[in-house]
Amino acid sequence: MADFRKSTVYQVYPKSFYDSNGDGLGDLRGITEKLDYIRDLGADYIWITPFFVSPQNDNGYDVEDYYKIDPRYGTMEDFEELAREAGKRGIRLMLDMVFNHTSTRHEWFRKAMEGDEAYKDFYIFRKGKAPGVPPTNWESKFGGSAWEYVEQFDEYYLHLFDVTQADLNWDNPRVREELQKIVRFWMGKGVKGFRFDVVNLISKGAFEDDDQGDGRRFYTDGPHVHEYLKELNEATFGTDAEFITVGEMSSTTLENCYRYAGEDSHELSMVFSFHHLKVDFMGNEKWVIVPFDFQKLKDILYEWQTKMAEHRAWNAVFWCNHDQPRVVSRFGNVKKYWKESAKMLGTVVHCMRGTPYIYQGEELGMTNCGFTDISQYRDVESLNHFRILQDKGLSEENAYQILAIHSRDNSRTPMQWTGGRQAGFTEGEPWIQVSENHSFINAEDEERDEDSILSYYRKLVQLRKDYDVIAYGDFEPLDVRNPSVMAYKRTWEGQELLVICNFYGKETVWSSGQDLDAFCCILGNYEDQRTEKDRAALRPYECMVLYRKK
């Protein structure tokens, strides 16, 4: 049986992964054709973002039919072949379930709009406070009001995301039963994992104006969320000991995550939290340009590592996904120390307590896209904020600078398989432009280079399988206030692991307080390691993983 603590999950964004038929869109057959690549990386699970029928207003996170595969991605036969072929290679599939909301083109919502009261109760409709005034002042996470007026009912429906993504009413037991049926259907197809999108938003609290913010305190980690997740667990995946689940937790708290992912809580296997990926925001505002706060990054990671361990709860550890900019562009140095910083950042998360997730192309050191014109962008959030930023008085140039750093399209450009035409992603015209640096950042070249980022990631994935201290060990932060170095210690049954990472492009000397000569280096991003007694001389972005068995 797969142990999720020793496993690594590889995330595929199918639209941008590999196009098997030349239409410019990645597809399910494309994943099947690249299974050997994922196997050779060492991944145990593939998390596939939504490929269900969808109008694609939010790249598939607006689901029109949970039971059918969007023809642009292939057929049910293609999925079944993918599941079979993955199984032959010892890889399990994890599907992405978007259960906070559906597309407004979903059959349930269409029936609601026809006036069917039973289906109106599948969603959250409310009267306005006054003519032309929404029920509350809550804001959509994509900008503007979270309420959309429906003239025929003289009511508004709630959409925390795009206007075409209507929030489901989880307080209605019929909704929960329908969602359980969907989970059981895909379990029947051999799926062995689920990632639940923004699942901590499913239980809404009071529908009141928020005089302190955008409304999120009324719907985040809501009053019945733990009850509903336990119910889903017990009715579906909780019956299969081999299943893994991960919840995407938006603006959550540690205290709630102890329960979501507690060893004995019977909710989820693990959680995604994003606090560490807001250290280059200004408060909760992401559409700004500020340097990342290294001390805050360390404090957040250390707190989540230690507190989740104390409460016997489990983390997903990651830098990248389809909603985040590329980490090497964000916290690394893509100009002078691209390779060194990409390897160092991978080391940070892969040696932590938690299940590591690799987002397609991260293992190659893929960078932000470098787009310079709004016509190149596809992401609804980016397009909205390009307008919103200028409405707030920013120049077009400044708006472009902010998009270049924070747009979700940074992670959605096609996977860079080769240095040739369209990066080997498609024979046709890709749905979104390929990054120009594919000529020197691509899988084909890195396969041939023993010093490549890809080669290094394969070693990182194998370390977790080879060393129990990484999978099961305690976590202890070291030298917490060091301005340049992130360091921590893992211990387990007489094994000790030191992870030392220089986050900057200048040399520094790190004092460990213990005899480093007693350790051997099992991985590093420079050919040699300069340690002497209790000191390590670290070159730009240098990392080292030191091990000893007492």
Token duo for residue 531: 């340690």
Q: How many CB atoms lie within 10 A of CB 286?
A: 16
Burial class (CB in 10 A: 0-12, 13-18, 19+), 337: buried
Beta-sheet strands, E only, within 154-279:
155-158, 165-167, 193-196, 244-248, 270-272
Burial 303-324 (b: 16+ CB within 10 A, else e): ebbbebbebebbbbbbbbbbbb
Token duo for residue 437: 């640096």
Q: Catalytic site residue 248? A: yes
- Measure the CA–CA gap between 316 and 301, rounded to whole angstroms: 12
> Is residue 345 within 8 Å of 331, Cβ to Cβ?
yes
Of the residues 27, 96, 197, 280, only one is catalytic, namely: 197
- Measure the CA–CA gap between 486 and 533, rounded to whole angstroms: 19
Query: ∠ at Cα 434 (317, 23), nearest 5°?
Result: 105
> Is residue 249 within 8 Å of 200, Cβ to Cβ?
yes
- Measure the CA–CA gap between 183 and 318, rounded to whole angstroms: 25
- Measure the CA–CA gap between 45 and 316, rounded to whole angstroms: 13
Burial class (CB in 10 A: 0-12, 13-18, 19+), 399: buried
Q: CA–CA distance from 403 to each of 185, 365, 527 (Å)?
A: 39, 20, 37
Q: How far is CA 99 from the centre of its chain?
A: 16
- Measure the CA–CA gap between 23 and 44, rounded to whole angstroms: 29
- Measure the CA–CA gap between 169 and 176, rounded to whole angstroms: 9
Q: Catalytic site residue 474? A: no
Of the residues 19, 58, 78, 248, only one is catalytic, namely: 248
Query: ∠ at Cα 14 (13, 15), nearest 5°?
Result: 95
Q: How many CA atoms lie within 13 A of 142 on its CB side?
A: 19
Picking from 389, 392, 390, 345, the residue whose alpha carbon sits closest to that of residue 365 is: 345
Identity of the residue numbered 402: I
- Name the residues annotated as catalytic: 197, 248
